Chain A
Amino acid sequence: MTKEYLKSRSSFLAVLALALPLATVVSMPTGAAASDVKSIRVLDYYNDSPDREIYGDMLNACADTLGVTVNREVVPGNTLIAKILQQGASRTLPDLLMIDNPDLQQIASTGALVPLTDLGLSGDGYLPQVIAASTYEGKLYGLQPITNTIALFYNVDVLKEAGVTPPTTWAELRDAAKKLTTGKRYGLAFSAPANYEGTWQFLPFMWSNGGDEKNLATPEVAGAIQFWVDLVTDGSVSRSVLNWAQSDVNDQFRKGNAAMMVNGPWQIPVLNSDPSLHYAVVSIPTPEAGGKSIAPLGGETWAVPNTGNEATEQIAAKMIACLNSDANQVKLGVLRQTVPTKTSAAVLDEYLKQAPSMKTFAEMVQTARARTAELGNDWPEAATAIYTAVQLALTGEASPTDALKQVQQ
């Protein structure tokens, strides 16, 4: 009997589960008072531990202070855009949405997001370059609590043994990489695959050399590509970088197959899991001594989709304000090896007090640039052109100048 009961119960639940989303769509309240909001729907892509829990806890804590509960959906990173498109088409967008910062302007251009200034938020007190990525046609659509970038990691023991000091200029980097290359070990590793990861890793070299995505066929961009080509032809960098993701680069560094690498702070937990590995981090070298190292800004921004429900939009804006409170920016930064985006000295001091090892990254973020700041919606095209040109030159299919002319068409 019990079995039979359970069976009928579970099928009833199945029917209910199917009917529920329909019911919510039909009975969507509009213009209700803020106090009527019981829960808000959140969509993000932090689906790996510990990020999943870090954000889960913080979202819940913020929701508690607002008297609502969080109904959170977490999807794998590469499916988020498809999910947003599907939800946009079926008018089922969540109340609070996380977006990778270079994608924000694309989504904002569709009209799917509410300007945050309409909901009482402002970008004052944040790094202007971080705000630039979250701004579309002069309006602020997202706020990003933390950011990251890439820098040069080096193996302390290996450099000491070879008598090499951490490089600060391109000439020093090329020299150091040459000296550190022996047998199975390469002096340097970076990531140059046929996707946006390749573009992301190349940008510090391109920007620091005065290159600009608005016009790629310039001597500055060609010079940066030529520098990568030189490193590979010297034999200091493996040709395999053409197919390495940043995680592969990290593996090579960890195994001792590369003495230095270009990578981001999200690799730190992996590197720290090996106590025999001693590494340190410096800014990415610049073409000339004393130059400014300009790296790209990473991280995700939080936005409020245009659901037409003012009450939940207000609550969602308050959630964003909570995620961006001084204390929470510091907390997220420390827990996730990322850098707070507020410019206030108090925030940065407190952050560096708790995470002194992040000093290099915190410094690099101050001069870093957003990928979509200049081109906005046209960024994907430029990003494709950049990694294609790098690949054309590294494979020897074309000289850097010719490669850039080819992709510029």
Chain B
Amino acid sequence: MPGFGTNGPSVAVARRAGSRRRERFIQQLFLLPAVAYILIFFGYPVVKNVVMGFQNYSMKSFFTGKAPWVGLQNYESVVSSPIFSSALINTIVFTICSIAGQFVIGLAIALYFRKRFPLNDLLRSLILLPWLLPLIVSSAIWRWLLDQDNGALNRILELLLLADRPGWLTTTSLSLVACILVNIWIGIPFNVAILYSGLQEIPEELYEAGQLDGATGWTAFRWITWPLMRPVVSVVLMLGVIYTLKVMDLILGLTGGGPANSSQTLATQSYHLSFVQFQFGQGAAMANILVAISLIFALLYLYINKFAGKS
């Protein structure tokens, strides 16, 4: 298209360049809400939390706005506290066991739902239920189910003469196990939903072709399903790890980190320091350690995602 008016070509070119610049400016303007959102709601809290970790941030700081700089002192006292090492181990055990359980059971259920059978759709939507319940409700219900004397689980075990009423939430050796079991129950729907949609993406022809070559059952899973599911699996596992590391409300609802700190994790301990003991600086330090661990997995996820996108 030639120039807009009668001013000749050079003016038209200049104008076009101007309008292009304006267009780019407007395009960038569209980014502004997103950038502002990220800066305000992600950037500021993260920076604030990092700074808080280096300050003696007490209740007083909220009112006076003053929080003396204490360097690494918060990190020192958090890491040297006797609870830290057990909380760290608990966090690792909780995360690994939860993810393993959620993933294996989730994958098995997803594979099962690939088969056609009556009520498949209904059952598949019902399985999402644990995900839809607020965590506070789930943990309250599980607290009843797992009660030592009158809980449903122990009643069933007793009827089957399997065990002598174990104290799921009141024994130091079982409390973390109970938290893991409930967390697996909560995580299964997420795994089923994502893995099932991943399975839907695999073309049926591949299985037909595989069948001609004698690849059925386990062999078909090993050589067709698994390789094609790898990108989805990596996403599920990475997100699962990040979600599980920060689980707090569930444990607080079930055991409160007890008995005797046996189910305390980095997340629950961070909550305790900040909102029960009002030592916000130490709580922030603990939270920052947790964020750093999550960050490693988040970067790993981005890397794998990029890799998967290329292949």
Contact = CB atoms under 8 A, between A and B. Distances in A.
Interface of A: 81-82, 85-86, 88-89, 106-107, 109-112, 184, 193-196, 238-243, 257, 380-381, 384, 388, 391-392, 394-395, 397, 406, 409
Nearest to A106: B59
Nearest to A396: B172
Contacts of A195: 256, 276
Contact of B170 (A106, A242, A381): A242
Given A106-B278, A109-B59, A195-B256, A243 B143 contact: yes
Contacts of A194: 255-261
B19 interface: no
B30 interface: no
Contacts of A384: 272, 276-277
Contact of B256 (A82, A109, A193): A193
B117 interface: no
B259 A394 contact: yes
Given A239-B167, A242-B170, A397-B260, A109 B255 contact: no
B256 A111 contact: no
A380 B276 contact: yes
B222 interface: no
A110 B143 CA distance: 38
B123 to A, nearest CB: 33
3 smallest beta-carbon distances between A and B, as pairs? A194-B258, A242-B170, A391-B260
Contact of B172 (A184, A238, A397, A409): A397
Contacts of B261: 194, 388, 391
A395 B171 contact: yes
A193 B63 contact: no
Given A384-B276, A392-B260, A395-B172, A257 B150 contact: yes
Interface string B45-69: 0000000000000111011110000
A395 B149 CA distance: 16
A112 B63 contact: yes
A268 to B, nearest CB: 24
A112 to B, nearest CB: 5
B169 interface: yes
B59 A110 contact: yes
Contacts of A241: 170
Contacts of B74: none
Nearest to B148: A240
B259 A243 contact: yes
17 contacts: A89-B62, A89-B65, A111-B64, A184-B149, A194-B261, A195-B276, A196-B276, A239-B148, A239-B167, A239-B170, A240-B149, A380-B277, A391-B260, A392-B260, A394-B259, A395-B172, A409-B82
Contacts, number: 92
Given A194-B256, A388-B260, A109 B60 contact: yes
B149 to A, nearest CB: 5
A242 B258 contact: yes
Contact of B255 (A82, A184, A243, A392): A243
A88 to B, nearest CB: 4
B260 A395 contact: yes
Nearest to A85: B62
Contacts of A107: 59
Interface in B237-271: 255-262
Contact of B63 (A110, A196, A392, A409): A110
A56 to B, nearest CB: 27
Contacts of A406: 82
A257 B172 CA distance: 24
A182 B275 CA distance: 41
Nearest to A193: B256
B62 A243 contact: no
Contacts of B276: 195-196, 380, 384
Contacts of B260: 194, 388, 391-392, 395, 397
B202 to A, nearest CB: 45
Contacts of A106: 59, 278
Specify which of B62, B170, B260, B272 lies most central, judged by the most chain A CB atoms within 10 Å of its CB: B260
A397 B260 CA distance: 8
B277 A381 contact: yes
B254 to A, nearest CB: 8
Given A194-B255, A194-B261, A395-B260, A243 B170 contact: yes
Contacts of A388: 260-261
Contacts of A409: 82
Contact of B59 (A85, A243, A391, A394): A85
A240 B167 CA distance: 7
Interface string B146-179: 0111100000000000000001011110000000
A86 B59 CA distance: 11
Contacts of A392: 260
Given A110-B64, A243-B147, 12 more contacts: A85-B59, A88-B62, A110-B60, A194-B261, A240-B149, A243-B255, A384-B276, A384-B277, A391-B259, A391-B261, A397-B172, A406-B82
